[in-house]
Structure 1
């Protein structure tokens, strides 16, 4: 027994020594390579404990308390308010965090061939989404992009008919909440917006809605038996698990809820597979397709079926687009009305613009289309400012796929390039970038849409990412959010905040949702 113990101790000691020697040899090589490139090291965000894990645990705690994006700013400011790129050692590895737009451009732009998404991101998403446009890398990603990108044509995202149909269901739900004198009771708009965007996204993708709004309002399933409310709950839970796995990074193997996550994902996959089967069957019924052709209904799945009949690929790619289409748009609508309720001046001004440009009628929309929505400047300012203040996708990331550099952040001045060795992950906190006072002004924490009157967009505003991996659904999200905002302002002349919480709670489940919901009362036009 003592012999085995001695051998074990010697073995562990040998591994420690080997690891130490390897680290020292590599460090010398990296220092030489760094010097040859004219680089200097970034400042270090040091841990507050001996294990080097305090920053990771603090970040996880902040996320649980709905202040994760704010924590990134405060942690970086601990190093220096004028320091915008830091090195963060955690146990036996390190990562970089940068809120410098120049570094963001270097990693995300078309010209960058040194960075890609990390395996950590792909691993976190895989149980839910599988291989697809948001998890694939290299040639696999190019295949996914080529498969999906042509489907997002302007004439298709400009078709607002199906959005109006689901908006009417949303309006019916709100009207059922009237309590008299034109006022609704206190209502949380956030879940209603997520049901709405789930219904429109599934209609756009599969040619049928999961009917989550109707399911909530009436308790009924769709004609095909789909429980839309249950599908929505499973999707929310699965994405929450994805976010937890991603936050653990290299230590995702410690994630304790694998069985529950797999169960939720399995339920989601069953519904998606059923909708795909329904659509394939419909394509073999000429009568139904002729009716659809006459009404010019676009279904993205039909386009994908022209390219592939691989069921796994169809499920994965449409699920990727579903997640990207439902949640960011649901968040954008939620935060828009959250902030409008707290800024009645902006609500009144925006409503005045809406009535002037689109008319006072809440029951017709003859002048409301893609082109007129895009031309409404103040509406655009409001949505841009919502995306800046909230940073709906608070964190992006890349990993160096070869030894490379970042253009800024090294040395005391921060003006020297930084050497980034192969395998180093770089976090891009959009919230921190979009709240820098030196970029946005001393009122960077304020919601002020007018700042967009003379602000030229650059890499300091990246709500949908940038470069080749920029979100394909950006224009669709803007169009849908613009449409619903205009229609609601046509119907309701007063929006009152009913949430006593003063501080913004950023509840992160990949995207930022309001941790306190969007509790308001609305007054219907008489």
Structure 2
């Protein structure tokens, strides 16, 4: 008989299980310790120092819940841009924070942004952040990919947008511009110029991406086009909101979003099918008959066309945002309005500009670049570190030392803050002063309205040509108004301008 003093023995299966659990825990601890030592050695090798952080405000917020709620609250109140700029002023150009288990590094430092977008481009990915947002609407588009697949899609998109004279129809732009003018009320009455310029931009962009405009400015817009416009705008708005909410996005129903994605994709795919089959029909007329491989290639081409078109339309609208910001700025600066008007009429007169004349509108380019500086289409962007990496600055008391970025860290860079708080743009960077661009270059490192490096927006040159044309036409058309101060675009603008909508959705 066993004594009650004897220790009970484990049966064999239980003993094996305990040993296995202990072994797994030991292996995991060994991996963690090895990773810690490796990171310490990497940081020591590069002279890294600790980043400033928000521990003074969230001392006991171990899981980043309070920080997440605060950030969501500012987004809801549309004060997130002022909020992030205030934090940069408090903690420096680069600092760390925590949101629900994620370590975030916020920066508007020029060297860090250049490192992120160019120097260490391969160390950072976009798809972990973007894929959950975009896969319902464009599963194989440029927003959901990294690595070799992204490079392939990027090359295809570059090819589509490279020949500007082929893809930009100035006569078509003029037709859309004339439709826009029909929405401008007489006698300097106030009107919602922001919605009108975004509709103008959408008509031009759908002409490029779909082969035909959706006629957003037409009061007799067909129902199917009106439905597509509503679905597209809903999808874009939800993507932006979810990008800011992060993990909290899972708490909201996606039913309406998924339905809008399905309808929008079906609409674009119908356009793509018509376009591709029309080309196939032309080949058949020329005596080239399709074979099975050609039919498979046709299906792939339709899918590719659909993803490309939706990627262009889902990217935040540089044209509409810039025009909206332009009128906001001009409504407060009559000097620039007069100079802009004179520069256009003195250079090309009152007729629509030709391709050759667009290159001579130097002051228009200065004004457009200044508006893009103050009101960039994408105000915040982010990358996820796919390996341990080093940022050139941000560490230490003065922020001058390198800083370690751990694999899995999310680095958020603020275009809004870089353009407004940086020292690249001369005196008073918060002010609207187009003349600063007479001595600055649009290629300068700190100027990133279209990003930099391999993921620079492939449509940037297209957008600049369209904007130059539209600004020239706007001020040619209203140069004949005798009383300048009564122009509806300078003093009586009924609009709201809040640029929190451009988050993580630049075409790159």
Q: Which moved more, 1:105-114 or 1:265-274?
A: 105-114
CA gap of 1:58–1:341, structure 2 versus 1, over 3 A, is: same
User: Structure 1 residue 393 and structure 2 residue 378: aligned?
Assistant: yes
User: Structure 1 residue 314 and structure 2 residue 311: aligned?
Assistant: no
| 1:472 aligned residue | 458
| 2:147 aligned residue | 138
* Deviation digits for residues 401-427 of structure 1 (CA, Å, limit 9, x no counterpart): 221111111111322111112121111
- Stretches of structure 1 that go unaligned for 5 or more consecutive residues are 1-13, 291-304, 513-526
| 2:498 aligned residue | 505
CA distance in structure 2 between the aligned counterparts of 1:252 and 1:312, rounded to whole angstroms: 31
CA contact (8 A) 1:95 1:426 kept: yes
- Structure 1 residues 13-162: aligned runs within 5 Å: 26-46=35-55, 47-48=57-58, 50-51=60-61, 52-79=64-91, 83-109=92-118, 112-152=121-161, 153-157=163-167, 159-162=169-172
2:337 to 347, 353, 367: 347
Question: TM-score, structure 2 length as denominator?
Answer: 0.83
For the pair shown, which has the larger CA radius of gyration, 1 or 2?
A: 2
1:231 to 228, 233, 246: 228
* SS at structure 2 position matched to 1:375: coil
CA contact (8 A) 2:191 2:494 kept: no
* SS at structure 1 position matched to 2:501: strand
Structure in which a larger fraction of residues adopt strand: 1
Q: Which moved more, 1:23-32 or 1:390-399?
A: 23-32
| 2:208 aligned residue | 204
Q: Which moved more, 1:40-49 or 1:62-71?
A: 40-49
Q: Which moved more, 1:153-162 or 1:265-274?
A: 153-162
* SS at structure 2 position matched to 1:62: helix
CA distance in structure 1 between the aligned counterparts of 2:330 and 2:205, rounded to whole angstroms: 25
CA RMSD across the alignment: 3.0
User: Structure 1 residue 172 and structure 2 residue 182: aligned?
Assistant: yes
| 1:274 aligned residue | 270
User: Structure 1 residue 248 and structure 2 residue 235: aligned?
Assistant: no
CA contact (8 A) 1:88 1:96 kept: yes
* SS at structure 2 position matched to 1:506: coil
- Structure 1 residues 427-438: aligned runs within 5 Å: 427-436=412-421, 438=423
- Deviation at residue 110 of structure 1 after TM alignment: 6.1
- Structure 1 residues 412-431: aligned runs within 5 Å: 412-431=397-416
CA distance in structure 1 between the aligned counterparts of 2:124 and 2:498, rounded to whole angstroms: 32
- Deviation at residue 286 of structure 1 after TM alignment: 5.0
- Deviation at residue 228 of structure 1 after TM alignment: 2.9
- Stretches of structure 2 that go unaligned for 5 or more consecutive residues are 1-21, 287-295, 480-486
CA gap of 1:392–1:253, structure 2 versus 1, over 3 A, is: closer
- Deviation at residue 48 of structure 1 after TM alignment: 2.9
| 2:261 aligned residue | 265
CA gap of 1:427–1:357, structure 2 versus 1, over 3 A, is: same
CA contact (8 A) 1:389 1:435 kept: yes
CA distance in structure 2 between the aligned counterparts of 1:479 and 1:488, rounded to whole angstroms: 14
CA contact (8 A) 2:378 2:502 kept: no
CA distance in structure 2 between the aligned counterparts of 1:418 and 1:465, rounded to whole angstroms: 22
